[in-house]
Amino acid sequence: MVRRDRWQKLLLVLLVTGGLLSCSPPTAPSATVTPNETISEQRELLGTYVQIQVAGLPETSAREAIAAGFQAIEQLQADAHPELPSSDIFRLNQNAGQAPVKIHEDIFDIISLAREISEHSQGAFDVTFVGIGRLYNLRHPENFRIPNDEELRQALQRVDYRQLQLDPANHTAYLTRTDMAVDLGGIAKGWSTDSAMAALKARGVKNAIVNAGGDMMVSGSKNGEPWRIGIQHPRRGRDDYFAVIKASGDLAIVTSGDYERYVMHDGVRYHHIMDPHTGRPASLSQSVTIIAPNGVLADGLATAVFVLGPEAGLAMLAQYYPQCDALIIDRDGKRHDSPNLTKRHTVINVAEKH
Ligand code: ADP
Ligand code: MG
């Protein structure tokens, strides 16, 4: 069975945060709103639906800021999409095995972080992973296929983050092998929420939530109340979440799950988060939610911890990212929280619906 259910996920999150209920229609003629209203817009970007919601600002300023937020994501796409000749990643891959290329400073920082997470997770997250992902065609489930052992063996040879050399002094990046490629897809959504939030703040927004296909970045509060983020249960229905996180201030909440994009075949769930050591779908987790200071970190760590599983995943967080928290549902459906989760955040557990 194939599920493409981003809309439903977005709707769920909107309902939990009250977004759909409180936003004004896009054509609303009034120039101002009372401080208790929120303005919300969404667009299709990065292959998903991005929603930006702003609270406590007059409508005109809110909409201008939201437009700037979307613009920031479009810019990011132009700068980092691996298939656009305008992008640094395109040039990096074109020059693989030939020469280092100069990278814009902000993109360089993201590549560095992606490589750092690759290293700290010992390749559970791998910034050169794209060659494996392609083999399964999960983006076009009608063409889904299972690669044979030889195809996997060859693809695995082209996955190795250590072949990505970074020179921070000159802001250059170099992939040592011609047949390898870098792709920031595993962190693009989280990164986009950071970029949009920065653009909102530059226009005076203090209270907002950016939702890129379920990856959330919040800032401030919703009219004095914390934003409420529902966490979808990986094996229950779409409208069924097992926890709600009350978030205020600057916080990213990102979930990676095996229910997002998958194909069931002979009882095996082929989903979009792969273990770069085997070339097969990672099987130790059903879902991983990371709470972190920013979206790009949360996004990368969600994928890394998903692949590592609860034990090694929580150990990595404790060692390298103690500022981050996690809620993990393991392969048996058992929940594992990071030790400081409820000390640092308000988490409401939601009973199973009957
Ligand atoms: P989503 O939010 O869509 O669930 P994730 O944040 O979980 O996405 O990331 C999944 C995406 O990351 C995949 O579509 C793929 O592009 C990439 N990816 C999958 N496995 C890995 C991995 N082990 N290392 C790096 N990137 C990965
Ligand atoms: Mg991720």
Query: In the chain, which ranges are continuous DSSP H helix?
Result: 6-17, 19-22, 59-80, 88-94, 105-120, 130-136, 149-157, 185-202, 295-320, 341-344
Distance between CA atoms of 345 and 336, rounded to whole angstroms? 15
pLDDT band at 16 (very low <50, low <70, confident <90, very high): very low
Tell me if 326 sits within 8 A of 338, measured CB to CB.
yes
Higher pLDDT, 15 or 148: 148
The residue behind tokens 């992973």 is 129
**How large is the angle between the packed helices 295-320 and 105-120, nearest 10 degrees?**
40
- Averaged pLDDT for residues 91-118: 97
Closest ligand 1 atom to residue 214 Cα is 2
**62 CA → ligand 1 middle, Å:** 32
CA distance linking residue 211 with residue 203, whole number of Å: 19
Note down the domain range covering 261.
1-23+32-354
Partners of 247 in the β-ladder: 227
Kindly report, residue by residue over 266-281, the tens digit of the pLDDT: 888 888 899 999 999 9
pLDDT score of 17 more than 80: no
| Residues 187/110, Cβ–Cβ less than 8 Å | yes
pLDDT of 36 reads 59
Number of domains in the chain: 1
Which residue's CA is the closest to the ligand 1 atom numbered 4? 256
Q: Is 303 in the pocket of ligand 1 (CB under 6 A)?
A: yes
* Region class of 104: left (phi > 0), else alpha (psi between -120 and 50), else beta: beta
User: What distances in angstroms separate CA 99 from CA 118, 168, 172, 173, 263, one per listed residue?
Assistant: 22, 16, 10, 9, 39
Amino acid at site 8 = Q
Question: What is the DSSP secondary structure assignment for residue 126, as one 8-state letter?
Answer: -
CATH of the domain at 136: 3.10.520.10
Ligand 1, atom 26, residue with closest C-alpha: 186
Instruction: Specify the amino acid at residue 303.
Output: T
The alpha carbon of residue 47 and the mean position of all alpha carbons in its chain are separated, in whole angstroms, by 12
Q: 161, 164, 168, 151: which is closest to 97 by C-alpha?
A: 164
Residue 351 in tokens: 């009973």
Query: How much distance in Å is there from the Cα of 324 to the middle of ligand 2?
Result: 14
Per-residue model confidence (pLDDT) at position 46: 87
Model confidence at 219, in pLDDT bands (50, 70, 90)? very high
116 φ/ψ angles, rounded to the nearest 5 degrees: -65, -45
pLDDT at 237 over 70: yes
User: pLDDT by residue (tens digit) across 124-179?
Assistant: 999 999 989 888 888 787 888 889 999 999 999 999 999 999 999 999 999 999 99
Q: Confidence class of residue 72 from pLDDT cuts 50, 70 and 90?
A: very high
Measured in Å, residue 305 CA sits from the centre of ligand 2 at: 9
Mean pLDDT of the chain: 88
